[in-house]
Structure 1
């Protein structure tokens, strides 16, 4: 029996004195992944020490959700949506543009989709 790697990593990153949270999803996310994600993200938000934070969501190795995890994602957006100023969705999936538009409804800030990593970072640190 083979198993595929899946999960979420969260880190605090800094570029040109601008801090943001990097969330990297790998494989197909499960309910257990979301149980680990919530407290880790809460801790990362506190470390940024800003009223609202910027996030790079790296979906370059993301393969989707199990059904229960998809519901967890919706609940997560409702719970934390007002914590975010900008979310850059990075990857090359066909669904990303739609997800960014949908995210704009649930997130207090802006959500944009990027196929180029450097463009995502530039948008996150731009104050305009």
Structure 2
């Protein structure tokens, strides 16, 4: 499930993923991304993963489509997680976007929140 987190910044989408993400979870953030883009700003995404197991196939496909469509619209992505494969995903994403991407362990989530705001 994807939960929206409030970080009180006008160009930050902040989410927390738990369990398995489906297509409907990914679709939750479309309006948030487009609201930022409509203001002429680039998107900063804080993506926290706790007890996150990945995506179901429709969710993965929707996420890939969204990331491809908005690859140039992201400025920064903070991926915060608890497993090595989550760090690997952050590294895998780098060639597909101009965004600055950093991975943080869960115990460093406050550092990640400060980094995404700078």
TM bucket, shorter chain: 0.7 to 0.9
Where do residues 1-128 of structure 1 align in structure 2 (5 Å cutoff)? Answer: 7-14=1-8, 20-43=12-35, 45-46=36-37, 49=39, 51-115=41-105, 116-126=108-118
> 1-side partners of 2:48 and 2:73: how far apart?
18
Rg larger in structure: 1
**1:12, 1:19 within 8 Å by CA — same for their partners in 2?**
no
Output one character per residue of 1:46-70: Cα deviation in whole Å (capped at 9) or x when no partner: 58x4521222101124221112211
In the comparison of the two structures, how many residue pairs are matched? 116
- Describe the SS at the equivalent of 1:98: helix
Q: Is the 8 A contact 2:37 2:43 kept in 1?
A: no
User: Is the alpha carbon distance of 1:125 and 1:37 closer, same or farther for their aligned partners in structure 2, counting shifts above 3 Å?
Assistant: closer
Q: Distance in 2 between matches of 1:97 and 1:34?
A: 20
SS at match of 1:102: helix
Q: Which runs of 5+ in 1 are unaligned?
A: 1-6
Q: TM-score, normalised by structure 2?
A: 0.80
TM-score computed with the length of structure 1 as normaliser: 0.75
What CA RMSD, in Å, does the superposition of the two structures yield over aligned residues? 2.3
> Is the contact made by 2:4 and 2:14 (CA closer than 8 Å) also made in structure 1?
yes
